[in-house]
Chain A
Amino acid sequence: EDQVTQSPEALRLQEGESSSLNCSYTVSGLRGLFWYRQDPGKGPEFLFTLYSAGEEKEKERLKATLTKKESFLHITAPKPEDSATYLCAVQDNGGGYQKVTFGIGTKLQVIP
Chain B
Amino acid sequence: NAGVTQTPKFQVLKTGQSMTLQCAQDMNHEYMSWYRQDPGMGLRLIHYSVGAGITDQGEVPNGYNVSRSTTEDFPLRLLSAAPSQTSVYFCASSYSRTGNTEAFFGQGTRLTVV
Contacts and interface: CB of A to CB of B under 8 A. Distances in A.
Contacts of B100: 31-32, 49, 51, 91, 98
Contacts of A72: none
A91 to B, nearest CB: 5
A44 interface: yes
Interface residues of B, number: 29
B107 A42 contact: yes
A98 B31 contact: yes
A101 to B, nearest CB: 7
B107 A43 contact: yes
A87 B43 contact: yes
A50 to B, nearest CB: 11
Interface stretch (A13-21, A60-68, A73-81, A102-110): A102-110
B104 interface: yes
Contact count band on A:
20 to 34
A98 B98 contact: yes
A58 interface: no
13 contacts: A34-B102, A36-B105, A42-B107, A43-B92, A46-B103, A49-B102, A87-B42, A89-B42, A97-B58, A98-B48, A98-B56, A102-B35, A102-B44
Interface of B: 4, 31, 33, 35, 40-45, 48, 50, 56-59, 90, 92, 98-108
